[in-house]
Amino acid sequence: MKQTILALACISLLGAPAMAQSVGEKTGVNSVLGVAPKTEDFIKEVALSDLTEIEAAKIALQRGNAEDKTFAAQMETDHTKTSTELKQLVPEALKAALPAGLDDASKKKLDKLREAKNEAFSKDYRSAQVSAHKDAVSLFERYAKGGDNANLKDWAGKTLPALQHHLKMAQELYDKT
């Protein structure tokens, strides 16, 4: 009984912060089970992903080789577009779910990219892009199938093919390293 109470207390504390993700989304359980994220989680994850992609693209535009720069320019353009679209679609009641800036995990990913040795930069950037786009495709697929906001659900479905194309491009770029 004490363990159950302790477990529930921990779950409550994890969900307490106003902008926190649900435990299922934060731990990756929702992704593994194919469960649609809550609308607030979807908004937060998409916004953070776009912010991170834009910043990673800026780094790659400075440090990458010609192929990295071409890919990065496309990512900067496309993720700026989706970021703008998302902000227009978020209902007023959920505007607080939009993060004001990058979270610690995103900052660490970008710091790792900034600190990569010149000879390792392309491999690190390309690997990060494959991983980020796999996550994005999963997020958008799950929300498009089971999201609870009709406008965002429709947008997720319409945006998904572009993300799948990004993943394919990132994988092809990574395969060249």
What does the block give as tokens for 160? Answer: 């998904």
Among the listed residues 19, 23, 27, the one whose alpha carbon sits nearest the alpha carbon of residue 43? 19
SS3 label, residue 98: coil
Q: Residue 5 — very low, low, confident or very high, per pLDDT cuts 50/70/90?
A: very low
Domain range list for the chain: 30-175
Encode pLDDT of 111-161 as tens digits. 999 999 988 999 999 999 999 999 999 999 999 999 999 999 999 999 999
Encode pLDDT of 29-38 as tens digits. 776 778 899 9
Residues 6 or more apart in contact with residue 31 via CB below 8 angstroms: 25, 135, 138, 139, 142
- The span from the CA of 54 to the CA of 83, in Å, is 10
Tell me if the domain spanning 30-175 has CATH number 1.25.60.10: no
pLDDT recorded at residue 24: 66
Query: What DSSP state is assigned to residue 94?
Result: G
Q: What is the CA radius of gyration of the chain?
A: 17
Query: What DSSP state is assigned to residue 90?
Result: S
- The pTM of this model reads 0.84
Return the minimum-mean-pLDDT range out of 9-13, 48-52, 110-114, 136-140. Answer: 9-13
- The span from the CA of 44 to the CA of 120, in Å, is 30
